[in-house]
Amino acid sequence: MWIEPKIDWTENDYYNAEDLNRVESNTKYIADYLTGLSYKIPELEVKTDRDITSIDFVSSINRIEENIEAIVDNFITPPGYQNRKNWDLGMSYDYRDANRLENNLKLLYEWALIAKENLVYCGTFACGEEGVIY
């Protein structure tokens, strides 16, 4: 299920476990949606069970970035898409990163919907007076 992303993070907002869960859930949703349209999206490793006791490491943030990049590499880079970051120890994640990830996912989702609307089904034809596709 697609969860509406938050794309208006400010420096006064608090980023919680459920926010990263939403990012990963939306990433998986887009990958599955595109796979259903016959795009060759690789199997993604996602984690959506974070809670207040969870701790994420640099490797988790890099995995999230890699998952989103895997979708882009096998689908399209939408206009306005912001490139991934390679995270290292000492780097801080802030509201700009949250906005970047969630906006990138929103763009990919919107383009996935466009891709489906424009999907041409091979071998379809219209017949009859009402132009019903059989």
Model confidence, pTM: 0.88
- For residues 80-106, average pLDDT: 96
Q: How high is the pLDDT of residue 109?
A: 98
The pLDDT > 90 percentage for the chain reads 84
Residue 84 has pLDDT above 80, yes or no: yes
Domain map (residue ranges) of the chain: 17-133
* Cβ neighbour number for residue 22 with a 10 Å cutoff: 19
Q: How high is the pLDDT of residue 26?
A: 98
The residues near 44 (Cβ < 8 Å, ≥ 6 apart) are: 27, 28, 31, 67, 70
The residues near 102 (Cβ < 8 Å, ≥ 6 apart) are: 5, 6, 7, 9, 22, 23, 26
pLDDT digits (tens, 9 = 90+) for 26-70: 999 999 999 999 999 999 999 999 999 988 899 999 999 999 999
